[in-house]
A = this chain, B = another copy of it.
Amino acid sequence: MGSLDPNSDHSSQFKPLDPEEFRKQGHQMVDFIADYYQKIEKYPVLTQVEPGYLRTRLPESAPYGPEPIETILKDIENDIVPGMTHWLSPNFFAFFPATVSTAAFLGEMLCTCFNSVGFNWLASPAATELEMVVMDWLANLLKLPKTFMFSGSGGGVIQNTTSESLLVTLIAARDHVLDRIGTDNMCKLVVYGSDQTHSTFTKACKIAGICPPNIRSIPATIDTGFSLSPALLRKVVGADVAAGLVPLYLCATVGTTSTTAVDPLTALADVANEYGIWVHVDAAYGGSACICPEFRHYLNGIERVNSLSLSPHKWLLSYLDCSCLWVKNPSRLVKALGTNPEYLRSKLSGSDSVVDYKDWQVGTGRRFKSLRLWLVLRSYGVTNLQSHIRSDVRMAKMFEGLVKSDPRFEIMAPSRFALVCFRLNPYLGSGSCYTETLNRKLLEWINSTGRVYMTHTVVCGVYMLRFAVGATLTEERHVFAAWKLIQAGADALLNDI
A319 interface hit (Cβ, 8 Å): yes
Q: What 1/0 mask marks residues of chain A from 336 to 347 whose CB sits below 8 Å from any chain B CB?
A: 110111111000
Question: What's the minimum C-beta distance from A285 to chain B, rounded to whole angstroms?
Answer: 12
Find chain B residues with CB under 8 A from A341 CB.
Answer: 198-199, 257
A202 interface hit (Cβ, 8 Å): yes
20 contacts between A and B (CB under 8 A): A1-B475, A3-B394, A14-B380, A14-B388, A14-B391, A19-B34, A22-B102, A26-B30, A51-B354, A64-B382, A65-B381, A80-B130, A85-B116, A87-B117, A87-B124, A161-B363, A161-B365, A164-B362, A203-B339, A207-B337
- Our pick among B3, B20, B125, B378 for the contact of A49 (Cβ within 8 Å) is B125
Question: What's the minimum C-beta distance from A121 to chain B, rounded to whole angstroms?
Answer: 7
Q: Which of A5-13, A271-279, A423-431, A484-492 contacts B (4 or more CB under 8 A)?
A: A5-13
Find chain B residues with CB under 8 A from A378 CB.
Answer: 62-63, 66-67, 71-72
Q: What 1/0 mask marks residues of chain A from 136 to 175 whose CB sits below 8 Å from any chain B CB?
A: 1110110000000001000000001111100100010011
CA distance A35 to B387 in the complex (A): 36
- Cross-chain contact B69 with A379 (CB below 8 angstroms): yes
- Our pick among B5, B27, B472 for the contact of A17 (Cβ within 8 Å) is B472
A404 interface hit (Cβ, 8 Å): no
- Cross-chain contact B125 with A85 (CB below 8 angstroms): yes
CA distance A384 to B64 in the complex (A): 8
CA distance A475 to B208 in the complex (A): 45
Q: Which of A218-226, A241-249, A409-417, A451-459 contacts B (4 or more CB under 8 A)?
A: A451-459
A473 interface hit (Cβ, 8 Å): yes
Question: What's the minimum C-beta distance from A52 to chain B, rounded to whole angstroms?
Answer: 7
CA distance A47 to B114 in the complex (A): 14
CA distance A395 to B320 in the complex (A): 38
A interface residue count range (under 10 / 10 to 19 / 20 to 34 / 35 or more): 35 or more
- Cross-chain contact B458 with A342 (CB below 8 angstroms): yes
- Cross-chain contact A133 with B58 (CB below 8 angstroms): yes
A132 interface hit (Cβ, 8 Å): yes
Q: Which of A182-190, A261-269, A302-310 contacts B (4 or more CB under 8 A)?
A: A182-190
A258 interface hit (Cβ, 8 Å): yes
A212 interface hit (Cβ, 8 Å): yes
Question: What's the minimum C-beta distance from A144 to chain B, rounded to whole angstroms?
Answer: 12
Find chain B residues with CB under 8 A from A31 CB.
Answer: 23
Q: What 1/0 mask marks residues of chain A from 27 to 39 whose CB sits below 8 Å from any chain B CB?
A: 1011101111110
- Cross-chain contact B33 with A30 (CB below 8 angstroms): no
A495 interface hit (Cβ, 8 Å): no
Q: What 1/0 mask marks residues of chain A from 100 to 113 whose CB sits below 8 Å from any chain B CB?
A: 11110110111011
A392 interface hit (Cβ, 8 Å): yes
A236 interface hit (Cβ, 8 Å): no
In chain B, what residue has the closest Cβ to A122?
Answer: B85
Question: What's the minimum C-beta distance from A207 to chain B, rounded to whole angstroms?
Answer: 6
A200 interface hit (Cβ, 8 Å): yes
A270 interface hit (Cβ, 8 Å): no
A405 interface hit (Cβ, 8 Å): no
CA distance A66 to B149 in the complex (A): 24
- Our pick among B29, B174, B200, B384 for the contact of A339 (Cβ within 8 Å) is B200
In chain B, what residue has the closest Cβ to A337?
Answer: B203
Question: What's the minimum C-beta distance from A486 to chain B, rounded to whole angstroms?
Answer: 19
In chain B, what residue has the closest Cβ to A257?
Answer: B343
Question: What's the minimum C-beta distance from A184 to chain B, rounded to whole angstroms?
Answer: 5
- Cross-chain contact B208 with A80 (CB below 8 angstroms): no
Residue among A18, A320, A476 with max Cβ neighbours from chain B (10 Å): A320
Find chain B residues with CB under 8 A from A344 CB.
Answer: 95, 199
- Cross-chain contact B164 with A377 (CB below 8 angstroms): no
CA distance A103 to B164 in the complex (A): 29
Question: What's the minimum C-beta distance from A116 to chain B, rounded to whole angstroms?
Answer: 5
- Cross-chain contact B80 with A98 (CB below 8 angstroms): no
In chain B, what residue has the closest Cβ to A103?
Answer: B16
- Cross-chain contact B37 with A19 (CB below 8 angstroms): yes
A209 interface hit (Cβ, 8 Å): yes
Find chain B residues with CB under 8 A from A113 CB.
Answer: 33, 36-37, 105
Q: Which 9 A-B pairs have the closest CB atoms?
A: A209-B209, A83-B126, A161-B363, A26-B30, A16-B101, A54-B129, A23-B34, A199-B341, A11-B387
- Cross-chain contact B353 with A51 (CB below 8 angstroms): yes
A84 interface hit (Cβ, 8 Å): yes
CA distance A152 to B184 in the complex (A): 41
